[in-house]
Amino acid sequence: MSAPFVYALPVRFADVDHAGIVYYPRFFHFFHVAFEELWRARVGPRAYSELLDRDRVGFPAVRAECAFLSPLRFGDTAEIEVAVARLGGKSITFRYRIYRAATPEQPRTPSAEGTVVCAVVDLARFVAIPVPERVTALLADLVEKEG
Amino acid sequence: MSAPFVYALPVRFADVDHAGIVYYPRFFHFFHVAFEELWRARVGPRAYSELLDRDRVGFPAVRAECAFLSPLRFGDTAEIEVAVARLGGKSITFRYRIYRAATPEQPRTPSAEGTVVCAVVDLARFVAIPVPERVTALLADLVEKEG
Amino acid sequence: MSAPFVYALPVRFADVDHAGIVYYPRFFHFFHVAFEELWRARVGPRAYSELLDRDRVGFPAVRAECAFLSPLRFGDTAEIEVAVARLGGKSITFRYRIYRAATPEQPRTPSAEGTVVCAVVDLARFVAIPVPERVTALLADLVEKEG
Amino acid sequence: MSAPFVYALPVRFADVDHAGIVYYPRFFHFFHVAFEELWRARVGPRAYSELLDRDRVGFPAVRAECAFLSPLRFGDTAEIEVAVARLGGKSITFRYRIYRAATPEQPRTPSAEGTVVCAVVDLARFVAIPVPERVTALLADLVEKEG
């Protein structure tokens, strides 16, 4: 069984909308923050920016979807899990799960679950390229196992 | 044939990310801006805020998905189309299409297409309720016809 | 007497914070949106992006300040005025005033007032340069007159 | 000599603008994030939300200003210092300093410095009230000493 990468992010004062709950597009931002933190934690603070700027490799989103299960509010902490649903030849499907962190009053609660399909592209020519080996290595343990 | 509601929104200086294209979670924000403008255009500037604050009716997103077809950049204008894919008993599925507006050099180009399923809830009790009649009336001409 | 440039911007569902009023950093964003619209309205939709990308001239903020006079809420329309407090040799001081637009119930009300000092820089070398003549021409009528 | 509270925040992929540097209104957001973290670190994750929601005490910004000294980019880490320039009867002036964290190639570098004057208000009546004692206690060691 693989274990996902987890990043805890406090819900900020301005993450909410007029209804007092986290604005739903922010969930996709939370996904991305966890993706950035995966690189920081495993390679270093400039790992992802150097991949883009020096190596000219990028991961534009091709498709994204999310089911919203229960709202998050200011004061909550979002625990964001990153796994890899599919490591393809020229694309990667990330799976994200967001939980409201446990508090003295409430257990840990699922808040959202989604996937983001990213192409792997040469940014200089904006064409799809094979997933670089070091990216495969970085993500290998996050690939979901069947059964 | 029904025609969608259309709202044109300039891509802002800060809508882009480090790769120089509109940050993909912003597309869902663009969807919501067009949704807000639908209310403004058809009922008035406070129509949606009053529905929430006075009538305590809200439309939390239950599920959202988007396919990203071609990037948008600063200087582009996003033309956002709003249609209703399904007007259910206690939920509404909106369909959004975003185009890069035509310029002297380039024709109008599809940029993104997605759907957002919204529950209709009584915000005081946070339970699903039937779609109010005036909401049905507001959206009736946006419902996609078959064939 | 010079007249400012004015741009009306609806307060969006997610512009507010947990206190239900526009998050104060958003006021500086509103300033910038009006600055972008000034270019769009007077030169064209790509005027500012081309200045940056083709001519490599930029206006990074050197100093910004704002007094917050009364809050804005979702449903309000922000009327943003842009004037030029000082057109210097290598910098420009913009003055912004934000009003809550009049409604049937309330008169137009001052909400915020601030200034932003921008350097004019050659983005290729990131050094200050004289204000280009066409920028001076663009802004000339917005310069505040004494008395 | 008092020491400021410090919070380190990675610059995110979408914090930058079309010029590739952190969008200047984001600096004020960074100020606020450090303010939120001060509460989290010293009292607990719900300290500030409970102050607002249960005790109905808020700190709306009355005036904010910032000098931008050197840009931040994606991949940088912002070290945000919070100090109290003035602890008044019914208002608090916070001083924020942002540094680009040291890297193997570059020393720690000042990026921005600003102040935010906050009123202390009873949110139920939206009138200024004296700074609550526990807030004074929370901030006492952050008050800047002369000399």
DSSP conformation letters of A7-66: EEEEPPTTSB-TTSSB-HHHHHHHHHHHHHHHHHHHT-TTHHHHHHHTS-EE--EEEEEE
Best residue in C18, C27, C76 to probe A by mutation, most A CBs within 10 Å?
A: C18
Work out the average pLDDT over A30-58.
94
The confidence band for D109, taking pLDDT boundaries of 50, 70 and 90, is: very high
ipTM exceeding cut-off 0.90 for this assembly:
yes
pLDDT at C1 over 60: no
Q: Which of B21, B49, B64 sits opposite A65 (nearest CB)?
A: B64
d(CA A14, CA B52): 19
Is residue B147 very low, low, confident or very high in pLDDT (cuts 50, 70, 90)?
low
B44-65 pLDDT per residue, tens:
989 999 999 999 999 999 999 9
Q: Alpha-carbon distance D4 to D96, whole Å?
A: 9
Among chain B, residues having any CB pair with chain D shorter than 8 Å are 13-14, 16-20, 23, 25-26, 74
Interface probe, candidates B12, B13, B17, B24, chain D, greatest D C-beta count within 10 A = B17
Those chains having 3 or more beta-carbon pairs within 8 angstroms of chain C are: A, B, D
pLDDT at D40 over 60: yes
Nearest 5°: the CA angle C12, C18, C24 is 65
DSSP3 helix / strand / coil % (chain C, rounded to 5): 25, 35, 40
So what's the pLDDT on residue D110?
98
For A68-85, the pLDDT digits (tens) are 999 999 999 999 999 999
**In this predicted structure, what is the pLDDT of residue A145?**
85
Flag the least confident range among A99-103, A110-114, C116-120, C123-127.
Answer: C123-127
Rounded-to-integer distance, Cα B40 and Cα B49, Å: 10
Helix axes C24-42, D24-42, angle to 10 degrees: 170
A19 CA: distance to closest CA in chain B (Å): 8
Residues of D near B (Cβ–Cβ under 8 Å) read 13-14, 16-20, 23, 25-26, 74
Check residue C147 and give its pLDDT.
53
The predicted model gives C119-128 an average pLDDT of 91
- pLDDT over threshold 60, residue D118: yes
Pick from C19, B127, B130, C93: which is nearest to A20 by CA? C19
Of A32, A64, A67, the CB nearest to B66: A64
pLDDT value at residue C2: 75
pLDDT grade, residue B124 (50/70/90)?
Answer: confident
Task: Please report the pLDDT score of residue A1 as a whole number.
Answer: 54
- Give the DSSP H or E segment for D49: helix D47-53
How many residues are present in chain C?
147
Cα–Cα distance for residue pair A80/A36, rounded to 1 Å: 12
